[in-house]
Structure 1
Amino acid sequence: MRTHAQLCHISADRCVVLVEAYEGTTPLGSSLGEGRSVTEAEDQALERLHSRFSSSKPPAAEEAAITSAETSIESKTKTAGSKQPVPIKRVAPPEITASEEPMQVLQSMPPQLTPPVDASSMVERGPDPQAPSEAPIDPEDWSEELTAIDLELQRVGWDRDSEKIYLERAFGHASRHRLTRFSDLVSYLKRLRVLSPGSDPMHAEIPLRRSDLVTQGDEILKRLQWSQQQAKDFLNQNLQASSRQQLSDEQLLGFNMMLEEKLLNS
């Protein structure tokens, strides 16, 4: 297993690091860590990942078990003298059988009984964490925000070289024109607005990447196997909001940390 660490947030007394785990090129999961230093935050994220893997069977092990089972079935088939893999194909997984039977029932049922069955099926199929209201469509015209960024750069006293240094730290590339998400552009603008004139681009606080936070939250919600309503109820109880879109970047980060705690304690 290999890991990849990414700095999500850094300030004078707080660092947040995202650690992702891979088996070859297959992602196994990710976790957030928080601390007073980058090392402390990374260690916490790694510890959470190890705790999660130790309490549940890793995907790689599950895949190996499935492969072993298939090999065993194939071996038994060959021993019996069968040269065709037809018996293997006839062994249908439970979930396929379950999905086929409701289709047959629905075809024979009166039309008025269809909505309740569909509603039940939607709930049982698992969570759909990212509601439409949480992924607003990016506007086509970004000129207002780009102009505001130019004005903020003048106020802070940064030239193009200073901006390149900051963008490389915050987003991994040195040009704002490579920001393909409107949410990242807005996060950049918000962070510039709170910087003091003369700030050092090498040490100035970098913005939280909202798109990464939303993706991270979606992954945790899927692992929790929560329905969309469960996620909304948890959000309402803890942050008095009905959608993640209503949260600031800091609040969204805090929400993800709370979901992490739930996942570790489940």
Structure 2
Amino acid sequence: MDHRTGDVRPTALASTRDAIVSVRSLSKRYGDVIVLDDLTFTLEEGTVTGFLGPNGAGKTTTLRLLLGLAAPSSGQALVFGHRYQDLDSPVRRVGAVLDVHDLHPARSGREHLRVLALAAGIPDSRVEEALAMVELEAAADRRVRTYSLGMRQRLGLAGALLGEPRLLVLDEPANGLDPAGMQWLRAMLRGFAERGGAVLVSSHVLAEVGQTVDQVLILHRGRLAASGPLDQLTADGQTLEEVYLAITSKVAA
């Protein structure tokens, strides 16, 4: 791809062989409004993929389709070769955080995780492990209403990790995190991928994404505008932010 000429050729990020995520010709319409248009990509184990795009680009719609929270108008979104809703014990395969504002405010962090574990048939001992993984043990017995946004992000991630999944789907996980929290998140996501997992992370914090991911999907106006390994997209010395702005402004023109 030549960013100077705006020659953007979106491609699938990985082969379909052993793909953890396989999205093919995925489209979503609401009446005459096209929210998502013919989206195709695949993700394999051992990868952290940044899912980028302006507000209204279709990122959240894609994540909802992938997690079975909405039905596609056409195409398919598969995880481990199946629709999310057809997976046996999906919480043991996929961990997701789309909104940390809907946590029950009167429950403690530990109680929140115990409810999730009970519903999924996960041993209670896993709750303590998840709290330790997100470094929230000291605040585990505080009511969620007292949590900062960064603490809610950690609690949401603890819930996603309860089932020891192989895929994490995260929407804006860096919101509310201080610099130390962002460094922790970066290391946690990289470690998850290095252990054979895959991460799809939507974010507007491009500087942080540039330090975390190894692959990028850029969505604009419901279509895939560009995709590829981060080091290839930034090979000419541009930052991820510069690449992103060049692509989205060109597509918008």
Relative to the length of structure 2, the TM-score reads: 0.27
TM-score by length of 1: 0.26
Q: Which has the higher helix share?
A: 1
Work out which of the two has the higher radius of gyration on C-alpha atoms and give 1 or 2: 1
Give the structure, 1 or 2, with the largest relative contact order (CA under 8 Å, sep 6 or more).
Answer: 2
